Chains A and B, each alone.
Chain A
Amino acid sequence: MSTLERLAVLADGAKYDVSCASSGVNKQNKGGIGNSKSFGICHTWSADGRCVSLLKLLLTNYCIYNCHYCINRNQNDIPRASFTPREVADLTIQFYRRNYIEGLFLSSGIERSPNHTMERIYQVLDILRHEYHFYGYIHVKVIPGADPALVNKTGLLADRMSINIEQPTEQSLKLLAPQKTLPVLFAPMNQINNQMTQNASERKIFRHVQKFVPAGQSTQMIVGASKDSDLSIIKATETLYNRFQLKRVYYSAYVPVNEGPNLPALSTSPPLLREHRLYQADWLLRFYSFKADEIVNEQSPFLDTDFDPKISWALRNMQLFPLEINQASYEELLRIPGVGVTSAQRIILQRRLGNISYNHLKKMGVVLKRAKYFITCQGCYYGGIPAESALVRQALAPVAKPVQLCLF
């Protein structure tokens, strides 16, 4: 097969992975090629509207495993191909020089054995870092079951590592990825987390100690392949953030690629709105100090489709509103629908210089269409209807739009 054909096959196999953002580290070029910017640079957008910043590739799509949801599973009859470590390294450098990409995101099917595959991934990094002196961003997938020593030496060359847990519960893993178990997935996560903490304290004493996975680790969960509720997913997310200090948990709306008794029918369309809501909920966990229980609970284990999770929460807690813009604390401001991190900060800053009027708010980026039911400004309420859950719910209800799913 030509390079062109193999690239097609191996890009195809990698495209369902979402953790492709390159943000997280600032790194200067120290006499080679490349640097990294912490804000993350998008280089293009594919026809599905997703940002392309990294060369996302599989080293090989041969796999000895048989995860039901995966296009590359062993029992599928699909074109197979592999790259050599050098080919991947060359492709990365040549794409990088032309500014097509911000770095490499390398994943792989498990060929022969976890160790064999992990070793080859390491070789790619070895060539890029030591031969080409590449300072750009590299994210690699850890192969579950690989020797911790291999994971360790790869981690010293990578910016970010991830182990996809794919399913939020042990049951669905058993059902859909019979060769994987949570303990096997958690072991390297734990190892990386410990190593990172240890590395950080060593670096305080010895400045020359090499950085270990400076951009942290992330993971991905597939949404909609199993029957798991949003509650399970958000709970699992919270645990992952707390237990392993993950930088990000990504959600990927399941695109049916295989037939199977435990899988949704091939004709099912990917649950994009659900994915979108989960990202909004995740955002609340990471930046707005919400707890999982506040977002979903046993009584209603699925996120509201009509409202974003912050509005849903506010509607369930109307007794806390309206809040006075000129008095609410920063934490309280953040809980107002329509007020984001930036506008909350602007409010706090400008408040020091004088009272804020209702007119000011719009210019500060507050979305008054939503916020007006939840605030007073200099004592006045501008909602126009009583601040009661049912009424506000009605006022905020989305007008039925046929394009709902384009939200993402």
Chain B
Amino acid sequence: MDYLYDGSFDGLLTSIYYSYYEQRAQGIYPEASYQFNMFTPSTVIQSDPVLAARVYDAIDRKISVYSLMQIYYVYLSNNTAKENLILKYLQLGFQLGPKIDSIHSHPEVLPIRQTAKKVSFEAERFLGLLRFTDTRSYLYSALEPDHNILILLADHFADRLAGERFIIHDKKRSLAIICNKKDWYLSDFSEEAAIPDSETEQLYQELWAKYFTRISIENRKNKKLQSHFIPQRYRHNLVEFRKSELL
């Protein structure tokens, strides 16, 4: 039996609950992108916060917080097989308990570690690569990350820019973090914020682009290394690359 869920973390955990207490799931898939086939029966799982919380607590108590975090990161990834990686990992986890955290090279564990690492790496990368534009009424930032990392950025910027209002917009997924002086929420969001570029905004963008070009040392030029750190696909949201025509 394939389980189809609504794409939310709660939905995924609810599916895992049913897989344990009703019928074992062969696979779990997001309903929206599921390819029906004639031979595997499927059922839609209604996401249920109470059941989800039970699975959540069980992972926390019987396996570990670390595993819980890892699963959440994998859930945020763009890996198309992620639900099933998580399912298999938890099956092993409920057998082994916290020991699962030390068997890095196990075939059910390794893909989880690797995927979680990719997600946390991208999130950390965007702590640095995100750029705000000052629209005068709020700070606005647009990005197109590979993984669904917005939620992993929110606390960092809410603390850092405590006195400000800001929007961090994931254009790929039409989502945004909207923050009003410390309180933030995640929301559907599709408008490209119209940015009335103020004069000072232009000035600071120019200053930054100028600074960026001047800080590099000619005799040490190494474009290959630079591309290794900043892949092309991130560059068009970066002022310093846009303005210095290094795209």
Contact = CB atoms under 8 A, between A and B. Distances in A.
A255 B219 contact: yes
State which size class the interface on B falls in. 35 or more
Contact of B208 (A14, A98, A346): A98
A235 interface: no
Contacts of A45: 225-226, 229-230
A347 B141 CA distance: 42
Given A350-B102, A353-B103, A97 B132 contact: yes
Given A98-B139, A350-B104, A49 B229 contact: yes
A406 interface: yes
A29 B228 CA distance: 32
A68 B216 CA distance: 22
> Which one of A11, A102, A269 has the greatest number of beta carbons of chain B within 10 Å?
A11
B133 interface: yes
B238 interface: yes
Interface in A191-228: none
Contacts, number: 154
A187 to B, nearest CB: 31
A4 B219 contact: no
A270 B220 contact: yes
A37 B127 contact: yes
Contact of A46 (B206, B207, B216): B216
Given A8-B214, A47-B226, A353-B102, A98 B133 contact: yes
B208 A48 contact: no
A32 B216 contact: no
Contact of A364 (B105, B164, B217, B223): B105
Contacts of A346: 102, 104
A34 interface: yes
A339 to B, nearest CB: 14
Interface stretch (B7-15, B45-53, B75-83, B154-162): B154-162
Contacts of B238: 44
Interface string B107-130: 000100000000000001001111
Contacts of A360: 105
Contacts of A97: 132, 134, 139, 161, 164
B170 interface: no
Interface string B72-107: 000000000000000000000000000100111100
A33 interface: yes
Interface string A389-402: 00000000000000
Interface in A340-364: 346, 349-350, 352-353, 360, 363-364
A353 B246 CA distance: 51
Interface string A350-381: 10110000001001100000000000000000
B210 interface: yes
Given A32-B163, A270-B220, A353-B103, A7 B210 contact: yes
Given A44-B129, A44-B230, A99-B131, A7 B102 contact: no
A42 B207 CA distance: 19
A154 B102 CA distance: 46
B33 interface: no
Interface of B: 99, 102-105, 110, 124, 127-134, 139, 141, 156-157, 159-164, 200, 203-204, 206-208, 210-226, 228-230, 238-240, 246
Given A33-B164, A49-B222, A99-B130, 10 more contacts: A8-B210, A42-B128, A98-B139, A98-B208, A99-B128, A100-B131, A255-B217, A350-B105, A364-B104, A406-B224
Instruction: Rank and list the top 10 A-B pairs by shortest CB-CB distance, nearest first.
Output: A49-B225, A363-B105, A46-B216, A49-B222, A48-B220, A47-B216, A45-B229, A11-B214, A43-B128, A41-B128
21 contacts: A7-B210, A11-B214, A14-B215, A15-B215, A33-B163, A37-B156, A41-B127, A42-B128, A46-B212, A47-B213, A49-B222, A53-B128, A95-B207, A97-B132, A97-B161, A98-B131, A98-B204, A99-B141, A269-B219, A350-B104, A408-B222
